[in-house]
Amino acid sequence: MKQLFVTMLVTGLLSLSLLIGQAFAEVPSEVKFPAGKMGEVTFNHTSHQEVGTCAVCHHKGVEAGACRACHGQDAAIPDMKKAAHDMCKKCHKKDGGPTGCKDCHVK
């Protein structure tokens, strides 16, 4: 009975580690946000993971999809430009990140 329990526990832990590994393997190292006439913003996802928790940006959960799935779709929710400028610039000012337009936007 004890051997069965240990076997089931090890199998469960291995399965869990595979699922967690797969979830992290799907996280992109960078994300590109189209920003109209200002060009594209390349977001270094890897470096931002080191300074905060996922929930800071993924406030509706990762399963909610991309930012633009909500931002810009409903007048009650800030559009992508406002949301990104408010969140990104606030954090960049606090932590010494870039805040100039051309620091993030590239045509």
pLDDT digits (tens, 9 = 90+) for 2-31: 675 555 544 554 544 444 444 445 788 999
Residue 22 is predicted with a pLDDT of 42
Query: What's the pLDDT tens digit per position in 82-104?
Result: 999 999 999 999 999 999 999 99
pTM above 0.75, yes or no: no
Q: Which position has the higher pLDDT, 26 or 77?
A: 77
Cα 69–Cα 88–Cα 75 angle in degrees, nearest 5: 40
Residue 21 is predicted with a pLDDT of 42
- Counting residues of the chain whose pLDDT is more than 90, the rounded percentage is 46
Q: Where are the domains of the chain?
A: 28-106
Q: In what order do the strands lie in the sheet with 40-44?
A: 30-34, 40-44, 105-106
CATH number assigned to the domain with residue range 28-106, chosen from the 4 options 3.40.50.720, 3.90.10.10, 3.40.50.300, 3.40.50.1980: 3.90.10.10
